[in-house]
Chain A
Amino acid sequence: MSREMLEAELHGLRSSAGSSRADHIAVIRVDGPGAFDLLEHASTRRLYLREGQMRHTLLLHEDAGIFADVYIGSADDGLYVLAEGPTEAELVAWLQELRERRFPAARVEVGGQAEERVTLGVDGPYAWEVVSGLLGRVVLGMPYLTLLRRDDVLCLRAGKTGEYGYLLVVPRSQAAGLEARLAEVGRPLGLVTVGREALDVCALENGHFSMRALRETALARPLTPIELQQQWRVAYDKVFVGSEALRARRAEGPRVRATSFTADAALVPGQTVQLGGEDVGEVLASTFSPSLGGWVGTALLTRRLAHPHVELAARSDTGVVHLTTRTPPLIDNLSLHVDPHKHSFATRAAAGSLSRPETTP
């Protein structure tokens, strides 16, 4: 994709809303009397789910490396898992293997949804206006991390762009019609279609963890929630897949930590980061940010230096790239200024026009 196209997508998403096909998210449904116990044992955090609620949690490998970044939600008398990382088939196989190993007598059905359903994403400061135009004003009252059903559409309030975000799980047979309706509703609201690349830029600008930023690294193998600053999704006082290895890693003390940065030129994953000529880390992910007018990314840095406002360097083929560690989010998201009960896209001048670089408070 050209930089101009990407910039147009990002401008639309950051100023109005962007819709996307969330094909990178595997959606499965888990049913049966043993469904909750199975997912509770899989999840790094306690689920405590009531109907209509979701938890943002993780699934780990036994070595504590991250297997999936998941939302687990309760709806329609069953549990839904929306996962980034594994394919649907890998996720179903992982849960079935866990059931056979830990709960062999439990009655649990694990079913992939991809054959029958499509997942769409709508993100942006006016995403709520687009989705409420599609599904009704009930959407306006949805707190973050809740889900509701409207006819055949399962609507989840969640996202990783720093803006208002919704996921719509719709029957495959109705997807084309719903996308056409979405485009119609969204046209006067400035809705644009965005791809995964734009979503990944937004995630990096806001310091959100992305499964696509995971990579093999000699600094910490595997990368666990500790190095990736995802311990807010871990309950150390419960047993889950990978909990023993994670506790062992915690007892050792973290050697490295993922840290956001801005840079004055392009960097690539795996590139070595240095301080005074000494290797102190490596780049996990990096991209150009049109909103910031420069390069942003995440680096895995030695624990001592993994703080904001530290000036570092990386050698590239064309010379030295200067980078500065930052406090995420790097963006003052327009969604922070937009209140669905006060504003609308039509009166957007009152709230500002675009998410902009973070400024010092």
Chain B
Amino acid sequence: MTAARDLDAYLERRERTLDEVRRLMASIIDYRGDPADIDPDAGLFGTGLGLDSLDAVEVLIGLEIDLGVRLEGDDAMRLGLRSVNAVVDVVMRARGELR
């Protein structure tokens, strides 16, 4: 999807959004380390960050309040919350930064 001429801009937006999502996840799981250590492809539930169903509600609230993105529908929630990068995709799409 990324044309060569706007690759730099895409990567900059991606890094910025990844930082936002990492900070959100770090606050939800009470992560004591540096949020930059959260792997972009880390899963949110089970393997990975180990979130549970209560955390999922916090993610949805955090996405809406902190990042201005509302996830609606079972598919959106099931697929959009599978990993840190999946959340980044959702946020960037909602902002029109990713097709």
A360 contacts chain B at the CB level, 8 A cutoff: yes
A177 contacts chain B at the CB level, 8 A cutoff: no
Interface residues on A, range: 35 or more
A309 contact set on B, CB distance < 8 A: 1-2, 10, 98
CA distance A359 to B10 in the complex (A): 21
CA distance A359 to B86 in the complex (A): 11
Interface string of A246-274 (1 = CB under 8 A from B): 00001000000101100000000000000
Stretch in contact with the other chain, from A126-134, A191-199, A288-296, A327-335: A327-335
CB nearest to B7 among chain A residues: A310
CB nearest to A258 among chain B residues: B41
Q: B73 to chain A: closest CB distance in Å?
A: 8
B39 contacts chain A at the CB level, 8 A cutoff: yes
B30 contacts chain A at the CB level, 8 A cutoff: no
Highest count of chain B CB atoms <10 Å: which of A305, A324, A329: A329
Q: A232-B38, A361-B86 are in contact. List 9 more A-B contacts (CB 8 A).
A: A229-B41, A232-B48, A305-B11, A309-B1, A309-B10, A324-B1, A327-B41, A328-B83, A361-B80
Per the 8 Å Cβ criterion, residues 38-61 of A in contact with B are 56
Per the 8 Å Cβ criterion, residues 202-259 of A in contact with B are 207-208, 229-232, 234, 236-237, 250, 257, 259
Q: Known contacts A236-B33, A276-B4, A307-B14; decide if A361 and B47 are in contact (CB<8 Å).
A: no
Q: Known contacts A358-B79, A361-B76; decide if A232 and B7 are in contact (CB<8 Å).
A: no
The 6 sampled A-B contact pairs (Cβ below 8 Å) are A230-B39, A232-B38, A232-B48, A306-B40, A329-B82, A361-B89
Per the 8 Å Cβ criterion, residues 116-154 of A in contact with B are 144-145
Q: B38 to chain A: closest CB distance in Å?
A: 7
Contact in complex: A237, B33 (CB < 8 Å): yes
Contact in complex: B93, A360 (CB < 8 Å): yes
CA distance A266 to B93 in the complex (A): 30
Chain A interface main SS type: loop
Contact in complex: B46, A250 (CB < 8 Å): no
Contact in complex: A361, B75 (CB < 8 Å): yes
Interface residues on B, range: 35 or more
Interface string of B36-68 (1 = CB under 8 A from A): 011111110011111000000000000000000
Q: Specify which of A145, A276, A327 is in contact with B89 (CB 8 Å cutoff).
A: A327
Q: Specify which of B1, B18, B76, B83 is in contact with A311 (CB 8 Å cutoff).
A: B1
Q: A228 to chain B: closest CB distance in Å?
A: 9
A308 contacts chain B at the CB level, 8 A cutoff: yes
Q: Known contacts A304-B11, A307-B11; decide if A336 and B78 are in contact (CB<8 Å).
A: yes
CA distance A208 to B7 in the complex (A): 27
CA distance A359 to B42 in the complex (A): 19
Q: Known contacts A56-B47, A232-B48, A336-B78; decide if A311 and B41 are in contact (CB<8 Å).
A: no
CA distance A359 to B80 in the complex (A): 10
CA distance A260 to B42 in the complex (A): 12
CB nearest to B33 among chain A residues: A236
CB nearest to A309 among chain B residues: B1
A324 contact set on B, CB distance < 8 A: 1
